[in-house]
Structure 1
Amino acid sequence: MLTIKQITENTDAVIRGLEKKHFKNAKETIDQVIAFNDKRRSTQSVLDNNLSEVNSISKSIGQLMKEGKKEEAETAKSRVAELKESNKTLQAEMDQAAEDMQNLLYTIPNIPYDEVPEGVGAEDNVVEKMGGMETELPKDALPHWELTKKYDLIDFDLGVKITGAGFPVYKGKGAQLQRALINFFLDEARKAGYLEIMPPTVVNAASGYGTGQLPDKEGQMYHCEVDDLYLIPTAEVPVTNIYRDVILEEKQLPIKNCAYTQCFRREAGSYGKDVRGLNRLHEFSKVELVRIDKPEHSKQSHKEMLDHVEGLLQKLELPYRILRLCGGDMSFTAALCFDFEVYSEAQKRWLEVSSVSNFDTYQANRLKCRYRSGEKKTELCHTLNGSALALPRIVAALLENNQTPEGIRIPKALVPYTGFEMID
């Protein structure tokens, strides 16, 4: 959530940033926030003056009674009663202005950094880097949904029977490959200094608001209405919320957490080739990195996270590219985001496998996640996260890009985790 200080001290810059994200009615919305804030502050000022007057008059009433000035004392009592009644109205007006302002702030996205390119959608993203191994497949190469059937790795129809489309059942070496990737990603994160967390996969509404999934992504999350709980779309939500309403000591930063969880997304509106096989699921496995850092170090943290994800893709021997997302394609909460995509040779298309984002103080302001600096002042932290990695499209690319006439080759880095070198 943007801070009032950001908005009032850098109003034009905030509006330009929102327009870069193609947020509709940016100026009108910011003007409304300022109006609510002005109303709140002016009402607070009147209320403070009234309270001061009430205190002053109340102290004088006893003295007036002692001096026998009963009529003046009664007048003073009437004035106190009048002010108290007025204060009830003022307090209600101030609370309403604060609530209206808060609700409006929840609907405003984060503003992008200057280095975020202009653009409306994915076609305007900038390719920062390409890497990995080129792949040459047999002429009769198959997409992963055919390979999983051929080698009995994943049963999509059985998932439909048990739950519905988008909930596959992993079997045999398909299940082993999933588990191998999870353990590989967690081990690599641990080697890089991340503390593993095993969080709940359902969260309350406060957690959803804390990281910005609510109210922006409410329709995309599975909602357990009876208990008012949400199935998590990513481990970012429960792990980052560990630090909600927490004041950290400067020496604790940066905090580095990782977590493996199942993730759940309704993916409402998805259709066509993008949803074939593992390309887009309602339930999937993911290892997430979360960092809490000081503002002056968060860009370095971001770079370290990008290097970590790139290293994973290199060890998996996959062709990849890194995209700097444009303003119109960034998430609601991000100030700067890079996407990693792997190339599916069989599908002839790029598949997104990770987004690594810096949220600046946006999430921290919602979370009230602060740190105490050396001067003993409290300041908002910066939060960052990234997938390292999301499994479905990694599995799709591994199966497709490593198919041979003899079977599917397992990358060397994974063999100690799978226990086999080939799927045949």
Structure 2
Amino acid sequence: MDYLETVKTRWLRRRYGKTEFETLLGILRAWNRKPWPMQELLRTVKDLFVRDINLFQGFEQYVSYSYPEATAKASAISAAEIETHRQACDRQSASRLLTLPREIRDKIWEEVVTGNIIHISTSSDIHVKRGRSGRPKRPKWQYYICVASKGLKSSVCQPGSGDHRDCPTSGPSNYAIIHLVCKQIHIELDSARTFFSHNALQFADLDIAYKYLFGLQEDDRASITHLRFLIPYALMSVDYRSYHHPGMVREWYALCNYFSNIWDRKTLNMYPQPGDKSWLSQEPIYFYYSNCYYYGNSNRMHKTWQVGRGDTSWDVDIAELKYKGALRLDLAMELPEFEFRVDAERCLDALWDVEDFDNLEHCDQSNAWLKPLLQFRNNDGVTLQFCDKNGPRTKPKLEAFTLALKEYMSGPPIGPRVCAFFHGRKYGNGKDQYPTMGERW
């Protein structure tokens, strides 16, 4: 049987196999029209074979046999890139830095462009490519290197306050764009992916964090490993009513829904496809064992899960899941001054008297903001701080609350540290026998 027919037959047995096969054909057609290096093609296609990695081993041979002209052009392009890199190295032969061995240079790039806190803000200017009439307006983002002395251990206060008082907040971006220094460094340094995966992105406003993060391409957003941002006090305002939603509810829920997921979205069959609604990636994800084949699962040691999002769910084989990694999330809530007064009203202290995190739906509505945050359970990388306009602050009630929350979030003392939270429904507590649907937020 032809290799492509074998792939088609095997993939169409799965729920999302048809979409993956059509994506593969689209990539091959585009590559045949305008070839690019073979290694880039293999990297692009490899993610589609994540469930059939053994089948991927014959892909390169199939391409070479079926597309000889495109393969020859791709080989020529690869050879030209190698020659370009060699010439760039020759031109930089006088540089003491660039004549070091490649392994040492890579270590230097890692030390220089990684491990930083990047303050991200926006200006009133419109991005130059979106300035023409008829095009959607997009903000122009500014990037600033944090100068706090404690580095990644610093507070999450906004620039201009606390230990971030000396961090720049205006003017042009001061983030070092090292890959533009010369062609050799540009070739060697994967600046985009390194920026997202090896730095902490800090936002002084929840709205800015939402717009920036959900304006990224999926691969860039999925590669983020460390986020830091302020959440507004209005989320748990005592003035909450059923007809009044405090500020940034949608944004807060969407960020928690997306970044609490520890699994590669391709293996969950959730990778964005052409035509998908943008809000799909912001939906909460829940896992459960479907009652219709529960006994079959029992005989197979629960090898199949049901994963749900929105108003639908589908099967996922546990063996196919790929662990992406838990996000490190540093949060801070800026409290008003009256929260720290000695004679503060008792109702304010009552806001922090949460004893049963599993049943928040029975608590006061002011604690509803905790429900999406609890999706990070079993994640040791989540921290919560409190501050005012001048910097970090605390009081006994707040210390007791953060300690109780940390103990709950750290997960059980015995058992797997990272596992799917089988809550059966959106923001459930794991005690529901059947999944139930409700409002999106």
If the length of structure 2 is used for normalisation, what is the TM-score? 0.22
Structure with larger Rg: 1
Greater strand fraction, Structure 1 or Structure 2: 1
Q: Which has the higher contact order (CA 8 A, sep 6+)?
A: 1
State the TM-score, normalized to the length of structure 1.
0.22
